[in-house]
Amino acid sequence: MRQIPIRDAPGELSGTSSSAREQGRASAPMSRPGAGQPRMDGRLESTTLQHASEPERAQSAPAVDSPWLSASIITAVVLFIVREVWTVWRDIKRRRQATFALKVLLAEETERNYWAFKRTFAVLEEISDLDHNDGRTAGSWVDRSGTMHATFTIMGEAQPHSSLALFDYTTARYERLADKVAELDRELFRAVQAFYHDLAEWKHELAILERYLSGQVHGPFADRASTQAFLADLCTEGNQRDEVFKQFYGRLVSTELKPRVR
């Protein structure tokens, strides 16, 4: 049996591939120094150059934008501070205006109460003189408006020789504005609250005086003589109460306290 030599097949294949490579080499142009590389190599080279240049761009970008970024941040901070300062100043101004308005309103009510205080103590002084002048008697009459008038008549005469109107202490504005005063100025509210607390006690004493003048027998005292002695003793507190009025009024406004005639 005849054997076929095996080494001839690779030789033929190698010969064929060698001739193909030789033809490819002959057809491919010779590369020169500085000439462009083949297409595949060109893609790799351009990609490498792009990746190499990206870090430089990433590093240089913040350096270009940083001055504008810093300026915008500083401007925003300055505008925020200016707005906050303006808001605080506006609130303080509104609070001062509201507080001033409340003080004026309470001062007007204090002037009316001061007039009532003056009239009350004028009557108390007349009652105090009854102990030294037994020839007079105290009484009262009420006009159409409901205001009581204290009268002092000499015994034996039909008409009184003096008549003084009595006015009640008013607290309407205090009751309406107390919450607002407490909200705006706590120190002022304490002063207002202390003054009107004293005023409430004086209103109670005024009620005792009115019952005495009207001839009513019921009251905190056993008889009319005891009531008269109590009312006469109140005259010793006139100067002290007058000072309380003036100090409180000075806490509200800077003008001199004068009674507001009703």
- Encoded tokens for 233: 């003793």
Q: Mean pLDDT score of the chain, rounded to an integer?
A: 79
Check residues 176 and 77 and name the one with the higher pLDDT: 176
Q: What is the pLDDT of residue 90?
A: 86
CA diameter of the chain: 185
Question: Which pLDDT score is estimated for 257?
Answer: 94
Amino acid at position 83, single letter: R
Pairing type for strands 148-154 and 136-142 reads: antiparallel
Residue 212 near residue 228, CB atoms below 8 Å:
yes
Give the lowest-confidence range in 11-15, 69-73, 86-90, 224-228.
11-15
List the end-to-end C-alpha distance of the chain, in Å, as a whole number. 156
Listed range (89-98, 184-193, 211-220) with the worst mean pLDDT: 211-220
pLDDT at 208 (0 to 100):
93
Q: Does residue 98 surpass a pLDDT of 80?
A: yes
pLDDT-derived band at 87, boundaries 50, 70, 90: confident
Q: Read off φ and ψ for residue 153, nearest 5 degrees.
A: -120, 135
**Alpha-carbon gap, residue 262 to 256, rounded angstroms:** 18
Share of the chain above pLDDT 70, in %: 71
**Mind listing the pLDDT tens digit for each residue in 193-228?**
999 999 999 999 999 999 999 988 666 787 888 898
For a pLDDT cut of 90, what percent of the chain falls above it?
A: 45
Residue 161 sits at φ, ψ, to 5 deg, of -90, -10
pLDDT in tens, 114-159: 999 999 999 999 998 886 666 788 899 999 999 999 999 887 777 7
Please report the pLDDT score of residue 66 as a whole number: 63
Flag whether pLDDT at 73 surpasses 60: yes
Q: What are residue 240's phi and psi, to 5 degrees?
A: -65, -45
Residue 165 bridge partners (DSSP): 149
User: What predicted TM-score, i.e. pTM, was given to this entire model?
Assistant: 0.67
The pLDDT of residue 157 is 77
- The reported pLDDT for the residue numbered 24 is 45
What's the pLDDT tens digit per position in 33-71? 444 444 445 454 544 445 445 555 545 544 555 666 688
pLDDT band, residue 4 (cuts 50/70/90): very low
pLDDT, residue 88, reads 87
Q: What is the pLDDT of residue 6?
A: 45
Phi and psi of 32, rounded to 5°? -115, 155
What DSSP element (H or E) covers 149?
A: strand 148-154
Phi-psi label, residue 146: left if phi above 0, alpha if psi -120 to 50, beta otherwise: left
